[in-house]
């Protein structure tokens, strides 16, 4: 036996170093979360997800089918912000009735429809406070139809319920307002939506009518003031015209200006006459009779003609008769008298022209004096033109404003009756025949979605709080130990095999004998192969199965592993080393009057080791025997070591089933003598901290840990998740390849 321990010493160091197996530290925790990890968690908690989803779906379904149906009636109205009913009062009333923005106007109408004022009107008209379909239990407390006569609490409750039932909105991309009301009473829904519509139209008409009336009254008052101011301005203008001799409404049309215009014309004529007469006077001063005859034709011209004729006759007579001729002297005398007459006439003409000139000068001076005086008066009038223009503008503007307001007043009186021209009813509410609530497909769909989502959340919460081992990957991650096999759940026709109680016996869990074609039987064969190949040169002869706590499947695993080894033709001894709570004798239907405890006590017995399986004569079983007073001392005794050496020489394999390591300290001595220690964990039962602590203990005592077996595992998860070369077998494939021997397919553990 010592030789075997020496040869196994290298494996001890290997087991000790297995704390960092696969590059994962024992206390390093889980690796990075992957999609495969998520799927594994979902698959492992599938029942949680399904039960939670089913519960939520049932609750939603019960609520949906038990809830009273709710009906909705809808009315449509068109509000055209561009339409005006003011007939010219838009500029004056736009700020009173609505905003300039179309969207703002539509939103304003929505707020009006959804206002408390409209709600109170509808509740009052339909007596909804005493209608159980609307007010519910509150209808028993209300004694009046008018909400304003109710208590504050009841009125507010009715208004809140009304707003929750009534919905007002804008139909997208239109000027149409949608009014909807929901109620369990289909007639009440239609009556309510139509009453909302009527109350809104009446309120809109009254508001705009009263607004127009207020504007009309204001206009009338203002017109009286404007009329008084206009009359006062007109009187001031008349007084100004009288003071300044202005006739008419134009400051240019007055006596001063007209007289100035006439004097200007007279002055121009006087200046022209004076210039002409002055020119004639200047010519007269030259004394030239020819020029004077031209200027002043008449006597002088006749005298000049006579003089010319006389001179011609004189010249003719003198030339004929000579100068001494009497006729010549007579002609000369006549010529002298004629010259005297001409000179006298020239003097008379000059005096006359001078008199005319002086008269023209005096006339010009007189006209110019009057003109200058009138011009001064015109200048004075011009200096008052600003005041005149102001007075005239005041009179004209007052008259224009009065006329405009009078026109607007007449228009306002007409528009008061057309205040709702921009609102038209598209559809009135009709009695609905189909309920809008509950929406059975939507509710069930949402219930299923919420149930599945909540199930996923609950599954991940449970997974995060779950400290148990569930898969081979977790074993390697948390303990750093190699996996030998994954044993599926063992099920029979009556259910899953459970831990035996005192006095009970069962061989149903010996699947290699009862159901050799089952998945569990194949898993135990895999365990056998893994155990024998753990050390190819020197396969372990003494194998000890341990677990952290009871009910983790250690006894079942040890028994089936012994059967699997025996089925290979090896002589195998299965020893029940759990002297406190033995169970192997009951699984093989053996007596427990004698066993390991009697051997260790020194009792000799030749038939104490039996072969309980006739078809498997190479399998020998040693029961635990009666419970001794000191099991730990007996297992640590020299006698136990001698028995192990003896059995190792007589049998090919010795398989020991032991008590839980964390409950008793009976087996620590056995662990140091074993060629291989197999740790058994149970999926969903063994905790990660327990496995880590167990591995720490094995490292401290330098036990030859061959690996870990995960018992009661879900093979679907294991084949899907463990190893890069594994693949997931479909349940149908398992059922067609394996058979549990009961005529029915096995189901994996949920």
What's the pLDDT tens digit per position in 321-337? Answer: 777 777 777 777 777 77
DSSP code, position 138: G
**Segment 287-328, tens digit of pLDDT:** 666 666 666 666 666 776 777 777 777 777 777 777 777 777
SS3 168: strand
Helix (H) or strand (E) holding 155: helix 152-165
User: Considering only 57-61, 202-206, 442-446, which range has the smallest mean pLDDT?
Assistant: 202-206
Q: Is the pLDDT of residue 492 over 70?
A: no
Annotate 429-464 with DSSP letters as a single string.
-----S--BS-HHHHHHHHHHHHHHHHHHHHHHHHH
List 545's β-bridge partners, or say none: 657, 678
- Looking at residues 562-568, what average pLDDT do you find? 92
pLDDT at 358: 81
**Between residues 324 and 497, the one the model is more confident about:** 324
Backbone angles phi, psi at 182, to 5 degrees: -115, 140
User: Considering only 105-114, 152-161, 227-236, 607-616, which range has the smallest mean pLDDT?
Assistant: 227-236
Neighbouring C-alpha atoms within 13 Å toward the C-beta of 422: 20
Residue 215 — pLDDT band, cuts 50, 70, 90?
Answer: low
User: Considering only 397-401, 541-545, 555-559, which range has the smallest mean pLDDT?
Assistant: 397-401
**Between residues 5 and 166, the one the model is more confident about:** 166
**Segment 347-382, tens digit of pLDDT:** 777 777 777 778 878 887 887 887 777 777 777 666
Highest average pLDDT, of 245-259, 420-434, 444-458, 706-720, comes from 444-458
**Between residues 417 and 316, the one the model is more confident about:** 316
pLDDT at 315: 79
Buried b (16+ CB within 10 A) or exposed e, 56-73: bbeebeeebeeeeebbbb
- CATH for the 71-218+410-427 domain, from 3.30.1890, 1.10.3470, 3.40.50, 3.30.110: 3.30.1890
For the packed helices 186-243 and 90-97, what is the interaxial angle rounded to 10 degrees?
A: 140
SS3 115: coil
DSSP code, position 418: G
Q: In what order do the strands lie in the sheet with 176-183?
A: 166-170, 176-183, 71-79, 423-427
Radius of gyration in angstroms for the set of CA atoms belonging to the chain, rounded to a whole number: 68
pLDDT at 296: 64
State the average pLDDT for the chain.
76
SS3 725: coil
- How much of the chain, in percent, has pLDDT values that exceed 70? 73
- Measured between alpha carbons, how far is 646 from 667 in angstroms, rounded to an integer? 18
Residue 32 — pLDDT band, cuts 50, 70, 90?
Answer: low
pLDDT at 620: 93
- How much of the chain, in percent, has pLDDT values that exceed 90? 13
- Measured between alpha carbons, how far is 672 from 656 in angstroms, rounded to an integer? 13
Residue 468, both tokens? 């148990």
CATH of domain 2-26+480-490+513-737: 3.40.50.300
- Looking at residues 220-245, what average pLDDT do you find? 69
DSSP code, position 327: H
Task: Give the Å distances, CA to CA, from 109 to 151, 484, 489, 564, 719.
Answer: 29, 78, 71, 87, 67
Report the greatest alpha carbon distance in the chain. 234
Residue 594 — pLDDT band, cuts 50, 70, 90?
Answer: confident
CB 209 within 8 A of CB 93: no
- Looking at residues 419-447, what average pLDDT do you find? 82
Q: Which residues contact 733 (CB under 8 A, 6 or more apart)?
A: none
Residue 461, both tokens? 């919460």
- Looking at residues 546-553, what average pLDDT do you find? 85
Q: Is the pLDDT of residue 748 over 80?
A: no
- Measured between alpha carbons, how far is 573 from 623 in angstroms, rounded to an integer? 11
User: Considering only 89-103, 190-204, 405-419, which range has the smallest mean pLDDT?
Assistant: 89-103
Q: Is the pLDDT of residue 38 over 70?
A: yes
**Segment 142-200, tens digit of pLDDT:** 888 888 888 889 999 999 999 999 999 999 988 899 999 999 898 999 999 999 998 88
SS3 620: strand
- CATH for the 255-383 domain, from 1.10.600, 1.25.40, 1.10.287, 3.30.70: 1.10.287
266-271 long-range CB contacts below 8 Å, 24 or more apart?
Answer: 266/367, 266/370, 266/371, 267/364, 267/367, 267/368, 267/371, 270/360, 270/363, 270/364, 270/367, 270/368, 271/364
Q: Which residues contact 299 (CB under 8 A, 6 or more apart)?
A: 345
pLDDT at 500: 44
CB 338 within 8 A of CB 314: no
**Segment 671-722, tens digit of pLDDT:** 888 889 999 888 878 777 778 788 888 888 888 888 888 888 776 666 544 4
- Looking at residues 7-31, what average pLDDT do you find? 37
pLDDT at 120: 92
CB 704 within 8 A of CB 15: yes
pLDDT at 563: 92
Residue 729 — pLDDT band, cuts 50, 70, 90?
Answer: very low
DSSP code, position 468: B
User: Considering only 46-50, 466-470, 726-730, which range has the smallest mean pLDDT?
Assistant: 726-730
Annotate 487-543 with DSSP letters as a single string.
EEPPEETTEE--PPPTT----TT-HHHH-TTSHHHHHHHHHHHHHHGGGSSS--SEE
Domain ranges of the chain: 2-26+480-490+513-737, 71-218+410-427, 255-383
pLDDT at 656: 92
Provide the pairing of β-strand 423-427 with 495-496: unpaired
Q: Is the pLDDT of residue 517 over 80?
A: yes
Annotate 653-721 with DSSP letters as a single string.
EEEEE---TTT--TTHHHHHH-SEEEEEEETTTSBHHHHHHHHHHHHHTT--EEEEEEEEE-HHHHHHH
Q: Is the pLDDT of residue 23 over 50?
A: no
SS3 549: coil
User: Considering only 148-152, 245-249, 519-523, which range has the smallest mean pLDDT?
Assistant: 245-249
- Measured between alpha carbons, how far is 48 from 60 in angstroms, rounded to an integer? 18
- Measured between alpha carbons, how far is 574 from 541 in angstroms, rounded to an integer? 12
């Amino acid at each position: 036996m010592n030789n075997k321990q020496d040869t196994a010493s290298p494996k001890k160091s290997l087991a000790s170093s297995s704390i960092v197996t696969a590059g994962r530290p024992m206390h390093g925790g889980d690796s990075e979360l992957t999609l495969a990890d998520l799927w594994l968690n979902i698959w492992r908690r599938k029942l949680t997800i399904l039960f939670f989803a089913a519960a939520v779906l049932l609750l939603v379904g019960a609520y949906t089918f038990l809830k009273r149906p709710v009906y909705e009636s809808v009315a449509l109205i068109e509000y055209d912000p561009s339409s005006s009913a003011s007939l010219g009062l838009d500029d004056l009333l736009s700020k009173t009735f609505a905003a300039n923005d179309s969207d703002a106007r539509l939103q304003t109408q929505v707020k009006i429809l959804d206002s408390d004022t409209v709600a109170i009107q509808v509740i009052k008209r339909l007596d909804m406070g005493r209608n159980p379909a609307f007010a519910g239990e509150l209808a028993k407390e209300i004694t009046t139809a008018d909400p304003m006569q109710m208590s504050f609490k009841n009125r507010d409750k009715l208004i809140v319920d009304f707003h929750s039932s009534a919905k007002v909105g804008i139909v997208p991309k239109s000027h149409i307002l949608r009014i909807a009301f929901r109620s369990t009473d289909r007639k009440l829904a239609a009556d309510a939506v139509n009453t909302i519509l009527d109350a809104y139209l009446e309120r809109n008409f009254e508001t705009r009518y009263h607004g127009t009336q207020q504007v009309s009254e204001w206009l009338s008052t203002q017109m009286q003031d404007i009329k008084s101011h206009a009359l006062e301005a007109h009187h001031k203008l008349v007084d100004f015209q009288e003071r300044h001799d202005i006739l008419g409404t134009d400051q240019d049309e007055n006596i001063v200006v007209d007289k100035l215009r006439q004097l200007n014309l007279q002055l121009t004529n006087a200046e022209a006459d004076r210039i002409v007469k002055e020119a004639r006077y200047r010519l007269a001063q030259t004394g030239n009779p020819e020029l004077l005859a031209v200027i002043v034709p008449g006597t002088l011209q006749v005298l000049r003609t006579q003089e010319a004729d006389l001179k011609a006759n004189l010249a003719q007579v003198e030339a004929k008769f000579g100068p001494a001729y009497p006729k010549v002297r007579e002609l000369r005398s006549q010529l002298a008298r004629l010259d005297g007459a001409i000179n006298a006439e020239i003097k008379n003409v000059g005096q006359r022209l001078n008199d005319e000139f002086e008269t023209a000068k005096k006339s010009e001076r007189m006209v110019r004096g009057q003109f200058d005086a009138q011009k001064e008066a015109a200048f004075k009038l011009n200096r008052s033109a600003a005041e005149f223009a102001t007075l005239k503008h005041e009179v004209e503007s007052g008259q224009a404003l009065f006329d405009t307001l009078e026109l607007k007043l007449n228009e306002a009186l007409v528009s008061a009756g057309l205040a709702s021209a921009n609102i038209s009813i598209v559809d009135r509410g009709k009695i609905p025949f189909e309920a809008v609530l509950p929406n059975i497909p939507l509710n069930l769909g949402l219930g299923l979605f919420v149930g599945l989502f909540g199930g996923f959340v609950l599954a991940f919460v449970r997974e995060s709080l779950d400290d148990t081992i569930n898969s081979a990957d977790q074993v390697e991650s948390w303990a750093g130990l190699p996996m030998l096999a994954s044993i599926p759940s063992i099920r029979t026709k009556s259910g899953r095999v459970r831990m035996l109680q005192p006095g009970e016996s069962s061989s149903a869990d010996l699947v290699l004998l009862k159901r050799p074609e089952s998945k569990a039987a194949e898993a135990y064969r895999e365990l056998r192969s893994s155990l024998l190949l753990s050390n190819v040169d020197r396969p372990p002869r003494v194998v000890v199965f341990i677990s952290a706590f009871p009910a983790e499947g250690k006894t079942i695993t040890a028994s089936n592993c012994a059967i699997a080894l025996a089925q290979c033709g090896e002589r195998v001894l299965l020893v029940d080393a759990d002297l406190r709570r033995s169970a192997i004798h009951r699984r093989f239907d053996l007596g427990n009057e004698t066993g390991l405890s009697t051997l260790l006590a020194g009792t000799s017995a030749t038939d104490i080791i039996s072969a309980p399986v006739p078809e498997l004569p190479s399998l020998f079983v040693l029961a635990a025997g009666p419970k001794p007073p000191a099991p730990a001392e007996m297992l640590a005794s020299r006698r136990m070591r001698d028995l192990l050496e003896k059995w190792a020489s007589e049998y090919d394999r010795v398989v020991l089933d032991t008590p839980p390591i964390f409950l008793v300290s009976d087996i620590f001595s056995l662990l140091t003598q074993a060629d291989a220690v197999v740790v058994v964990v149970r999926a969903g039962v063994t905790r990660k901290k327990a496995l880590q602590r167990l591995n720490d203990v094995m490292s401290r005592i330098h036990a030859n840990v061959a690996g870990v077996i995960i018992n009661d595992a879900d093979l679907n998860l294991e084949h899907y998740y463990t190893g890069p070369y594994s693949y997931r077998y479909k349940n149908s494939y398992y059922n067609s390849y394996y058979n549990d021997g009961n005529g029915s397919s096995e189901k994996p553990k949920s």
